[in-house]
Structure 1
Amino acid sequence: MALKLPDRWIWDSWYVKDGDTYHAFYLCASRGLVDPNRRHRNPYVGHAVSKDLVNWTVLPDALAPSEENAFDSWTTWTGSVIKDDAGKWWMFYTGSAREDGGLTQRIGAARSDDLINWEKVSTEALVEADGEWYEKLDLTVWGDEAWRDPWVFRFPGETTWQMLITARSKSGNPKTRGVIGHATSADLITWSVQQPLSQPDQGFGQMEVFQYEIVDGVPILLFCCGWRELGEENVAKFGKIDTTYSLPVTSGIKDVDFRKAQAFTEKIVYAGRLIFGPDEKWYLMGFINEIEGKFVGELSDPIPVTADPILGIVPR
């Protein structure tokens, strides 16, 4: 595996390149918890660097939960990193709070000059789900309020920042109402929540860990979903696997139809990320979830991929 820690499990990860160095940020938790399901409420954001995506040097953790009375007083979960026009690095990430039992997910940010030392922007969240379009806390079906995994980027040639978010629609079948949450900003601090970029009832209860990239000329949405969150038709189509999915889209992410999404099964990785490698070719990296029913918690080796305008991400 590309990154395996003897004392910690690793799961969701996100990457940024600075010069010739790749920085991996990832959720991690102590193997001393014994039960891997406990990792979700005991995470830190770890940090490692590499020149080749294979050999990694582990650095001090990037983020930890805040003290009480903060949107992230319980957990710091999955995010993304970008550089602003002034050269400052921003990490947008998910938080949950002890004050509400960790049931409501919100999004905040931290800033850094060097990708090593991070300072949180605020104890308050910057982006929260808007009940006009999105499902708020409803314990009858899901048991949480989904608003996580922010992927921040700009469309080529534009100045507005875009954020893609794991979310659920307020309408539709509760079991298949996963949508792309969407927010925009001019300054990375003030965000306007927009209506979803997709419709509910397209076969997924939730789509996690979005990423948008133009891979070998093909605009791609990447996401993941566990089989227990699939609609019945998708279980029949893809089987009982927890994996990464891709969907070719328009360059502006319009008219998204997740019924055309395809599972990546060449190598099963969860929370997959597309990375433009040092050889100027594309790779997929994610974490190894389970093997024979046992949680693994390691980052995979980089998987060579390209994009097909119909099939999405395919092995290269």
Structure 2
Amino acid sequence: MVLKLDDKWVWDSWYVRDGDRWHAFFLQAPRAIGDPELRHWNVSVGHAVSDDLTNWEQLGSCFAPAAEGAWDDYTTWTGSVLRGRDDQWHLFYTGTHRAEDGLYQRIGHAVSDDLHGWQRVGDGRCLDLEGPAAAAYEADHKAGFWHDRAMRDPWVIPDPAGDGWLMFFTARATDIAEPNAGGAIGFATSPDLFHWTLQPPVFAGAFGQLEVPQVFRRDGRWYCLFCTAAEHFSRDMALAAADGPVSGSHYLMAEDPRGPWRVAPGAFLDGALPCRRYAARIVETDAGLNIIGFADRPEGSFVGQLTDPDPVRVGPDGLLRVAADTSEE
């Protein structure tokens, strides 16, 4: 049974496991607004739990924009949740400000003891495109060139090379002439989850935006899942796509999370036109890898619910493949 709300649209999601129970966090907006394209500006974060990633118990809203005047008073968008070494749960999220028309995105931080009641750390803001490394990013909104100042969808993992933490996020690189070749995976480091230092992007190129990055390790290789739309393929990527550009999720590969990263060769992992599933996540269970995203426009109209998980297989060459029917194996 898919995660579907009768009175709300559901889209981007992220997951964390606590014991035997899965917690899903997802963006939601009331269907009463009428136009699903307005959902981004009428958003809150929902929370549900499951023992099998298929049957979900709704726990209601757990996070929302701050009071008027705050840096995140307009939207609280996609992020990630993890348990810190302080045994607290940490939420990293995207925020925007109403006074800026939501055009400038920044990254916020909140903590919780129970995965439902979240408190901002200070005013919440933990990272912006500031400091020496900001020169590598499209740090100001280039109106008419791109639709926003991109800094969103933070994904945080422990640093495998030390005691700190690594953050990856959707961004854009500077001084790239083709708009659809300027998408980047931004990067930041922290010793403690509370103090972050912006670093240069770990990847740039190929697409106009690489949304909802998720970095994970499997069988000694590193993967960075991301989603993008057919209209955001660069000229080179569009020409290289055997069946033309699609919308959905693909991935980068690397030997180290700091890079260098490369676009995985071969077929796009999980794409279609019109888009079937977007903003997917890879969720690792005891049985293996699974992919979950939101049902976008498989038949032309926005659906706005999460999909059931499909298994993902890793080939001998390290390439990923969605295997919706396990009998294929």
TM bin (shorter chain): over 0.9
1:271 has 2:271 as partner? no
1:286 aligned partner: 293
2:186 aligned partner: 181
Q: Secondary structure at the match of 2:246?
A: coil
1:149 has 2:125 as partner? no
Q: Secondary structure at the match of 1:296?
A: coil
1:54: Cα distance to partner? 0.4
Cα distance in 2 for partners of 1:11, 1:50 equals 18
Q: Which amino acid aligns with 1:14?
A: W
Considering Cα pairs closer than 8 Å and 6+ residues apart, tell me whether 1 or 2 has the greater RCO.
1
Cα distance in 1 for partners of 2:319, 2:22 equals 25
Pairs within 5 Å for 1:25-174: 25-123=25-123, 125-130=125-130, 131-135=134-138, 136-156=140-160, 158-173=162-177, 174=179
1:98: Cα distance to partner? 0.6
Cα distance in 1 for partners of 2:267, 2:215 equals 15
Q: CA separation of 1:239/1:311 partners in 2, compared to 1, >3 Å: closer, same or farther?
A: farther
Q: Is the 8 A contact 2:95 2:108 kept in 1?
A: yes
CA RMSD of aligned residues (A): 1.9
1:218 has 2:226 as partner? no
Q: Is the 8 A contact 2:246 2:271 kept in 1?
A: no
Q: Is the 8 A contact 1:247 1:261 kept in 2?
A: no
1:217: Cα distance to partner? 4.0
1:231: Cα distance to partner? 1.2
1:246 has 2:251 as partner? yes
Query: Deviation per CA, 1:94-114, whole angstroms, max 9, x where unpaired?
Result: 000112111100000110001
Cα distance in 2 for partners of 1:48, 1:312 equals 31
1:263: Cα distance to partner? 1.7
1:156: Cα distance to partner? 3.0
Q: Which amino acid aligns with 1:270?
A: Y
1:231 aligned partner: 234
1:47: Cα distance to partner? 0.3
Q: Is the 8 A contact 1:108 1:125 kept in 2?
A: yes
Cα distance in 2 for partners of 1:175, 1:251 equals 26
Q: Secondary structure at the match of 1:95?
A: strand
Query: Deviation per CA, 1:15-63, whole angstroms, max 9, x where unpaired?
Result: 0000100000000111111110000111110000000000000002110
- Larger displacement relative to structure 2 (250-259 or 39-48): 250-259
Q: Secondary structure at the match of 2:76?
A: strand
2:314 aligned partner: 307
Q: Is the 8 A contact 1:2 1:302 kept in 2?
A: no
Which stretches in structure 2 are left out of the alignment for 5+ residues?
324-329
Percent of aligned pairs sharing the same letter = 40
- Larger displacement relative to structure 2 (7-16 or 224-233): 224-233
Count the aligned residue pairs: 313
Q: Is the 8 A contact 1:246 1:312 kept in 2?
A: no
Cα distance in 2 for partners of 1:58, 1:2 equals 12
Q: Secondary structure at the match of 2:38?
A: helix
Q: Is the 8 A contact 2:264 2:319 kept in 1?
A: no
1:311: Cα distance to partner? 6.1
Cα distance in 2 for partners of 1:215, 1:259 equals 15
Q: Is the 8 A contact 1:218 1:309 kept in 2?
A: no
2:197 aligned partner: 192
Q: Is the 8 A contact 1:218 1:307 kept in 2?
A: no
Q: Is the 8 A contact 1:248 1:309 kept in 2?
A: no
Q: Secondary structure at the match of 2:122?
A: coil
Cα distance in 2 for partners of 1:275, 1:265 equals 15
Q: Is the 8 A contact 1:151 1:211 kept in 2?
A: yes
Q: Is the 8 A contact 2:105 2:150 kept in 1?
A: yes
Q: Is the 8 A contact 2:280 2:294 kept in 1?
A: yes
1:227: Cα distance to partner? 1.1
Q: Which amino acid aligns with 1:271?
A: A
1:138: Cα distance to partner? 1.1
Q: Which amino acid aligns with 1:180?
A: I
- Larger displacement relative to structure 2 (165-174 or 302-311): 302-311
Q: CA separation of 1:266/1:252 partners in 2, compared to 1, >3 Å: closer, same or farther?
A: closer
Q: Secondary structure at the match of 1:144?
A: coil
TM-score by length of 2: 0.90
Q: Is the 8 A contact 2:249 2:271 kept in 1?
A: no
Q: Is the 8 A contact 2:109 2:124 kept in 1?
A: no
